[in-house]
Amino acid sequence: MNNLFNAPDEYVQGFFKSGRAMVQAYTGLWSAAKPPTQETAVELARVSGTYWERQATLWTRSLAAGAGNEVPTVVDAERGDRRFHGELWSKNPWFNLLKQNYLLNSQLLDGVVEAADAQPREKHKLRFFSRQIADALSPANFATTNPDALFGALESKGESMQAGLSNLMEDLRRGRISITDESAFEVGTNVATSGGSVIFENELMQVIQYAPLTDKVASRPLLIVPPCINKFYILDLQPENSFVRHACEQGMTVFLVSWCNPDASLGHVTWDDYVESGVMKAIEVAHKVSKADQVNTLGWCVGGTLLSSTLALLRARGDESVASLTLLTTMLDFEEPGDLGVFVDEAGVLQRELTLGQGGIYRGAELGFVFQALRANDLIWPYVVNNYLKGKTPAAFDLLYWNADGTNLPGPMYAWYLRNMYLENNLRVPGRLSICGEPVDLGQVDVPTYILATQEDHIVPWRSAYRTTGLTGGKTEFVLGASGHIAGVINPASKNKRSYWAGGKQGADADEWLASAESTPGSWWTHWAKWLKPQAGKMVPARKKLGNATFQPIEPAPGRYVKVRAD
């Protein structure tokens, strides 16, 4: 996998190698499943009986309809499944029959997996790999079984096939599937355009201070810690959907960490380095520049885990420079890690430790492919079909441009993170984990904490995020946003889309919280701004000059670091 994206031949070989590895893992999971009990056998018989009954109905109705007539519907795609939206999937009898037969087979596979007698983690892996295999075998993914691609090729006299082959060769050269028109965007020109300056930098990160947008600002600034596995500008895409701009419009002085994109020279960097030279240093910069008594902090995803680790370390050292903590789709308890957990086991982590743990780089392209695989029917197969089978080029979309802008990780940091978070879940246990030489306890993080999860998050399941309410020591406010890991967070208040749940009775059970929570239409951004206000301090005149005598402007935002592309 290390050379997967270096050349076309290696890409193809790596693709099939990954496929074989997935099949081997899948068959291994089935081998490890317990022998069927009587209850399991009964359920399997029911699933099988239902399948054959529906197959018989499908074929009987199809034959009765006669040649040239529309095939009656026995099974239909789930709502939101866009693979079979083309008219020919319904109007053409052969392709309609093919579609319905595939859907029945997929449902049979789902039923067999659910009936399997396996432990919860193994059952989750079976579900995931079954879904990957079923998605890959969809008739929509093949030129001869996709009516839109087939008839498009006939109508264009083969031009669409020629264009598709050209697109495929170009993507093989680049080492990734094109999911947007990357030529339509440039960081600092039409994405990441909020005004400000880089006022500090070291080898690991830059600190950006954004220009105020109000005459008065809260005396306590806001420091944003984005994930180090992605570029920060997901929080500053366009002015109309920029969380950074929204915070500035609320009268906040905003500082933000822009992580470097590591190369081989930073292959030695550890989790402790990200804490001490990254988050802790950024807190110091924001504190000294603002001259405030305390700093408000916000972290997203892995950035939230890093930020929480840092606050636990600061509390262990008696430091009380942070006033509040906001966590966006962040896991601190990794007991139920969602789909990412299927890739983590002792053997896999040990292999990463042996190959990367002492030094090296985990390439952003490989990590990006893992994230795409989690949503294959959204981020892989539609582009395979459109780019290669239909010969089309993807449209320009700022969020997908960001998604394709990968970031490398230092091997020691990555291996440590896998073992201590995903595999052993050490952070949740007081005193078990030492960071920068200090045993840490999340319970000592006694500041007011705002926890946002999103209902359809496949990376940080919302019930896992809810567990944070029982870990930190301060008063917590849990909010559940609609949609997923990205769209649920980037939900601009001005568009008044989606909804969120808040105000539930907090306890040990996440579902009980949801049952008592109130649903509110619109964005959680306004709810968060109201929550933050009591922690923000008094209003003071905004300073137009950024930085101070010690931390002077180095270059305009968004800075150099965010523009470095992963190789």
Quickly list DSSP for 505-537. --SS-HHHHHHH-EEEES-HHHHHHHHHGGGS-
Q: How many CA atoms lie within 13 A of 445 on its CB side?
A: 31
**Of the candidates 192, 255, 228, 222, the residue with the CA atom closest to the CA atom of residue 551:** 255
Enumerate the β-bridge partners of residue 206: 201, 258
| Cα dist from 86 to 81, 147, 151, 278, whole Å | 12, 8, 12, 49
From first CA to last CA, the distance across the chain in angstroms is 15
List the Cα angle 514/520/526 in 5-degree steps. Answer: 115
Can 301 be counted among the known catalytic residues?
Answer: yes
CA 205 to each of CA 198, 278, 295, 443, 491: distance values in angstroms, whole numbers, following the listed order: 10, 6, 19, 28, 27
Fill in the DSSP letter of residue 191.
B
Q: Which of 313, 252, 259, 309 is nearest to 282 (CA)?
A: 259
- Pair 82, 382: CB distance under 8 Å: yes
Which of 248, 260, 301, 436 is catalytic? The answer is: 301
Contacts of 499-503 with C-beta under 8 Å, sequence gap 24+, read 500/524, 500/527, 502/477, 502/478, 502/527
Rounded to 5, what percent of the chain is helix, strand, coil? 50, 15, 40
Residue found under tokens 């994930």: 227
Distance CA 146, CA 142 (A): 6
Q: Contact 40/114 with Cβ under 8 angstroms? A: no
Closest CA to 276 of 204, 218, 335: 204
Contact between 118 and 29 under an 8 Å Cβ cutoff? The reply is yes
DSSP-derived secondary structure letter, 328: E
Phi-psi region of 331 (alpha: psi -120 to 50; beta: other; left: phi over 0): beta
Residues annotated as catalytic are 301
